[in-house]
């Protein structure tokens, strides 16, 4: 049994849990969650721990660690246990000559977390390829496969996004944060990548925007790009002791809001269409607000990555309290300069960002 949650998270931060159980299959996971619910025991589900920021005080309940790792491929359909390492899932799909997931290579964490977060990178989101999710519905004790349309998948979120540090809740008919992902299923393509829409990746591949390449080529280039930004886990590299991008890219309502940002910056800003307005680059805003790579604000245990300003990192001696203070400083600095609010992407367990000082 791990003594601290820091042993289960990619940030390597987090205090102890009251109890710990390791689950090797979907059935075992459902059974253990049901046992905890019957006893009124708070539950924290942990897969790869790549999207969790856990309080220094830890978690006053049971950690259910998802370790089932089966990956099955039949034709162009791939099914994986929730505990399967996500990059192993992507690798298996590419090795089978299947396209769709290759741009999501190198993302740390488990397969079960991908629909919760609607994981995305380099112009591709899980929502584009997800076929179904097997859920344990804690309100009823039933297990069923559900369609992606029921999950409310949106930019880095879904109806499932919230740590399950509680008992069963919600209507029996509704998908919600109390439900537990047991397995995921993807419907992929045979022999060609997803359309390459992300400019940086298209240039690296020498491909036209919207074109396709061999999945193995796209995967190799994505991994190279992620490594250059400290976004592939490496125990020897403190720049990878993180949750990846700490803030989501903010969405502003209209061109007038973009113009205000550009006036404050004195230059044009990258912008992308979004369902609710115009998406801006959080990393660009952070840098233009005066936060350089490696910025620590006088702290010794945490800093921005030396490779990528959107990642907040543990330098080996950090605490969650320190990390969240740095996050708040960055958030407040961006708002002071541009009037744009940044929101954290990871799930905070027993912790929260300090209140804004503005």
The catalytic residue among 67, 156, 219, 331 is: 156
For the chain, how far is it from start to end, CA to CA, in angstroms?
43
Residue 280's H or E segment, with its range, is: strand 277-280
Backbone angles phi, psi at 54, to 5 degrees: -105, 140
CA 239 from chain center: how many Å?
17
Establish whether 345 is a catalytic residue. Answer: yes
Taking the C-alpha atoms of residue 270 and residue 286, their distance in angstroms, rounded to an integer, is: 13
The catalytic residue among 91, 158, 245, 303 is: 245
Most distant pair of Cα atoms in the chain: their distance: 58
The residue with tokens 């990846």 is 244
**Conformational region of residue 118, where left means phi above 0, alpha means psi within -120 to 50, and beta covers everything else:** left
Q: What angle do CA 100, 105, 107 make, to 5 degrees?
A: 125
Establish whether 3 is a catalytic residue. Answer: no
Contact 317, 327 (CB under 8 A): no
Establish whether 110 is a catalytic residue. Answer: no
Long-range contacts of residues 198-203, Cβ cutoff 8 Å, at least 24 apart: 198/103, 198/122, 198/123, 200/122, 200/225, 201/103, 201/122, 201/123, 201/225
Residue 262, SS3 per DSSP? helix
Taking the C-alpha atoms of residue 285 and residue 167, their distance in angstroms, rounded to an integer, is: 39
Integer angstrom CA distances of residue 103 from 84, 171, 222 = 18, 36, 6
Catalytic residues, by residue number, are: 156, 245, 345
């Amino acid at each position: 049994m791990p003594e601290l949650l820091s042993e289960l998270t990619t940030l390597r931060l987090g205090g102890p849990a009251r109890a710990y159980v390791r689950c090797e299959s979907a059935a075992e996971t459902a059974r253990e969650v049901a046992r905890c619910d019957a006893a009124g025991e708070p539950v924290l589900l942990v897969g790869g721990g790549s999207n969790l920021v856990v309080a220094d005080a830890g978690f006053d309940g049971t950690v259910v660690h998802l370790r089932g790792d089966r990956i099955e491929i039949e034709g162009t359909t791939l099914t994986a246990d929730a505990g399967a390492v996500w990059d192993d899932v992507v690798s298996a799909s590419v090795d089978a000559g299947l396209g769709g997931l290759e741009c999501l290579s190198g993302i740390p964490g488990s397969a079960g977390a991908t629909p919760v977060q609607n994981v995305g990178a380099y112009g591709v989101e899980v929502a584009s390829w997800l076929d179904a999710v097997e859920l344990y519905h804690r309100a009823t004790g039933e297990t069923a496969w559900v369609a992606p349309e029921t999950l409310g998948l949106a930019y880095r979120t879904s109806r499932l996004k919230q740590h399950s540090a509680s008992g069963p809740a919600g209507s029996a008919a509704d998908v919600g944060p109390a439900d537990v992902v047991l397995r995921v299923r993807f419907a992929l393509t045979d022999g060609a990548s997803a359309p390459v829409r992300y400019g940086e990746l298209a240039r690296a591949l020498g491909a036209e925007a919207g074109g396709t390449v061999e999945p193995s080529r796209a995967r190799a280039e994505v991994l190279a790009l992620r490594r250059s930004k400290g976004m592939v886990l490496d125990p020897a590299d403190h720049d990878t002791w993180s949750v990846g991008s700490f803030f989501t890219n903010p969405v502003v309502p209209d061109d007038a809001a973009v113009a205000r940002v550009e006036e404050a910056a004195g230059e044009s800003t990258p912008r992308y269409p979004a369902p609710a307005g115009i998406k801006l680059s959080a990393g660009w805003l952070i840098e233009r607000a005066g936060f350089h790579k490696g910025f620590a604000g006088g702290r010794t245990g945490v800093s921005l990555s030396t490779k990528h300003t959107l990642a907040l990192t543990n330098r080996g001696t950090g605490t969650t309290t320190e990390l969240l203070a740095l996050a708040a400083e960055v958030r407040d600095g961006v708002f002071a300069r541009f009037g744009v609010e940044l929101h954290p992407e990871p799930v905070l367990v027993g912790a929260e960002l300090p209140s804004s000082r503005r």
